[in-house]
Structure 1
Amino acid sequence: MKRRIFAFISIAVASLLLVTGLQWVTPSPVVAQSNTSLLVSAAASLKEALEEIKPLYQQSKPNININYNFGASGALQQQIEQGAPADIFISAGKKQVDALEQKGLLVPGTRANLANNRLVLIVPKNIVGITSFYNLTDTKIKKIAIGEPRSVPAGEYGEQVLKKLGIFDKVKPKLVLANNVRQVLAAVESGNADAGLVYATDARISNKVKVVVTADDKYHSPIVYPLAVLKSSKNADAAKEFVQFLSGGQAKAVLKKYGFIVP
């Protein structure tokens, strides 16, 4: 009887050792690489171009999910300063990125200029008789849409142009301030404004407006789109890779397609 019990115990112990040994020598299954999400806070004027760039990037990086938060550069800057989540910031003006850099909110060495743009005066497509900025002082022009200069770079550039031309005080009562440059475009498209100041790239995507004149660069600060990775990013390495892709040939081709001037 004792021999049988001893044999049973021996078999049980051997079986346990065998199972334990197999677990020790068998490698754990490789855990599939989980998806990484990036949130890019970007100027509204970049919407179509960045949305077209997204699938191009994901062809080689299928595990990276790119999400966008489009808006006025000044508003996006404030969101970031107040702790809103974001991995990358792309502004339509230098001032907003300068402010974040001064506050130590950017990852050092990641700042770069994505593209440049031009400022244009637009009117509804059926409007005739407007050929220059000076026509904005005419009595038939009742409303001029422009971005809020304090938060919308296009509005700031527009104000600079009107002041340089000496007509700002005359047209100021006609100004209708918008929260971003796409609202300016929509106002002119709908006829709610007789004219508006937008980027050349905004006018290019609409068949309801026409460009009257392009502002001379000497009348406003350089229109540049700086970008950088934010220190608050939880995926800084992935964000750096996407920023690097934005400076490459595929992304530049898309930006050029939409009328941006690339470095």
Structure 2
Amino acid sequence: MFGPVLRRLALAAALVPLAPLYATAAEVTVFAASSLTNALGRVAEAWTAATGHHVVLSFAGSSALARQIQQGAPADLFISASQDWMDAVAGTGDLRDGTRRDILANSLVLIAHGRDAAPVTLDSTFDLSGLLGDARLSMALVDAVPAGIYGKAALSHLGLWDSVAPKVAQSDNVRAALAFVARNEAPLGIVYATDAAVEDDVSIIATFPADSHAPITYPAAITAQAQSPVAQEFLDFLSSDAARAIWQGFGFGFPD
């Protein structure tokens, strides 16, 4: 007659080891540049599997995210695609002192619609305007979003900006610029190499010379208003061996 009681006691005993896991599980909110969408999602999954903690990811252009943080948005971590927008957030006192670090590097490429587009040579003799004809060059916002800023700088360095500026179609973030080319709404675009790698309907037809723009690095930092008890833990995980393997799989490099 003690069978049901014993079963209940056995079940309670079996559940005891699980209690600390649920009691200590936490959440961290990360604002990150759009170009990190696929890779950071995988990194977050790996961290959740290892720790039981949950990651809330919000992706947009670095400029938009920086402004949201400055206006009090509840981000625990900020990962920018440029130093300038991280500097802007630091300048308004919205970063936690001592947490900023550079975690990733990238390169800038010219893409074309389709998988078999012919490669070109990107130098001062390249007639990009002629190749476009009456069509558009898809870019992120050239005065606000890092990919667009890098792209404008590279084209200016090569002496090509003035001729193509009237033909540029600007988007709020680099993934939107990528999508225009993938859908053939623009024949050419400028994005990061890692963006092109995750889209089946575009080809990289050239890589911009490294000296044609500022180094593309991704700084990360905890925000001043962070509330998550595991923000530092996740920030550290971004540079762990496990995370680095994922980043490399998506084509990212690392700062020197």
When the two structures are superposed, what TM-score results if normalisation uses the length of structure 1?
A: 0.84
Correspondence for 2:54: 65
SS of aligned partner of 1:41: strand
The Cα shift of 1:55 comes to 2.0
Structure 1 spans left out of the alignment, 5+ residues: 1-29
Letter in 2 for 1:33: A
CA-atom RMSD in angstroms: 1.7
Distance 1:139 1:112, change over 3 A: closer
Answering whether residue 161 of structure 2 is matched by residue 168 of structure 1, we say yes
Q: How many residues are aligned here?
A: 232
The Cα shift of 1:113 comes to 0.7
Q: String of CA shifts for 1:56-112, please: whole Å, max 9, x gaps.
A: 1112311x2101000000000000011111000000000011111122211111111
Correspondence for 1:234: 227
Correspondence for 1:214: 207
Moved more, 34-43 or 176-185: 34-43
When the two structures are superposed, what TM-score results if normalisation uses the length of structure 2?
A: 0.86
Alignment of 1:110-149 (within 5 A): 110-125=99-114, 128=117, 131-133=120-122, 134-138=126-130, 140-141=132-133, 142-149=135-142
Answering whether residue 64 of structure 2 is matched by residue 75 of structure 1, we say yes
Contact preservation (8 Å) 1:87, 1:229: yes
Correspondence for 1:89: 78
The Cα shift of 1:132 comes to 3.4
Contact preservation (8 Å) 1:74, 1:150: no
Contact preservation (8 Å) 1:201, 1:260: yes
- The correspondence for 1:106, drawn from 79, 95, 100, is 95
Contact preservation (8 Å) 1:131, 1:213: yes
Answering whether residue 39 of structure 2 is matched by residue 46 of structure 1, we say no
- Equivalents in 1 of 2:118, 2:24: separation in Å? 59
Structure 2 spans left out of the alignment, 5+ residues: 1-18
Correspondence for 2:27: 37
Contact preservation (8 Å) 2:118, 2:205: no
Letter in 2 for 1:46: L
Misfit runs of 4+, over 3 Å: 126-130
Answering whether residue 241 of structure 2 is matched by residue 249 of structure 1, we say yes
The Cα shift of 1:206 comes to 1.3
**Rg larger for:** 1
SS of aligned partner of 2:30: strand
- Equivalents in 2 of 1:260, 1:164: separation in Å? 24
SS of aligned partner of 2:81: coil
Q: String of CA shifts for 1:127-175, please: whole Å, max 9, x gaps.
A: 7566134232106431100110232100000000111111111101100
Distance 1:244 1:128, change over 3 A: closer
- Equivalents in 1 of 2:159, 2:130: separation in Å? 14
- Equivalents in 2 of 1:174, 1:232: separation in Å? 41
Letter in 2 for 1:240: Q
Letter in 2 for 1:242: F
- The correspondence for 1:177, drawn from 170, 173, 176, is 170
- Equivalents in 2 of 1:170, 1:140: separation in Å? 11
The percentage of aligned residue pairs carrying the same residue is 35
Answering whether residue 147 of structure 2 is matched by residue 154 of structure 1, we say yes
Distance 1:126 1:108, change over 3 A: closer
SS of aligned partner of 1:59: helix
Contact preservation (8 Å) 2:139, 2:191: yes
Moved more, 132-141 or 146-155: 132-141
